[in-house]
Amino acid sequence: MYVLKRVNVLIAFLACGAGVYHFFIGNLDFSSSSILTCLALMFLLFGIEKRIENEGDRKPGYAYLAVALVMLIGLIKEWVSFI
């Protein structure tokens, strides 16, 4: 649980740093599929973390997992059309 929380914080800081760099310093040339992959991974890990927590409401965890599933379906659909 502790490692997952650290990984989630690291991914969130990387995403915020990439956003600040892209909008204020220079242009980042990422494809939409790479950004969608990063966001899907981030939402998946957030959902797993919220789902594992014993205290509090677990509904946000299920919402994160649903969003990650929708993003992954979009990625698979794009990947299949690529092949």
Residue-wise pLDDT for 14-67, tens only, equals 888 888 888 888 887 777 777 788 888 888 988 888 888 777 777 888 898 999
From residue 53, how far is each of 14, 17, 42, 48, 58 by CA, in Å?
24, 27, 17, 9, 8
Q: What is the pLDDT of residue 69?
A: 92
Domain range spanning residue 35?
Answer: 2-82
Q: How many domains does the chain have?
A: 1
Q: What is the pLDDT of residue 66?
A: 92
Q: What is the pLDDT of residue 82?
A: 63
Q: What Rg value do the Cα atoms of the chain yield, rounded? A: 15
pTM over the 0.85 mark? no
Q: What is the pLDDT averaged over residues 73-81? A: 78
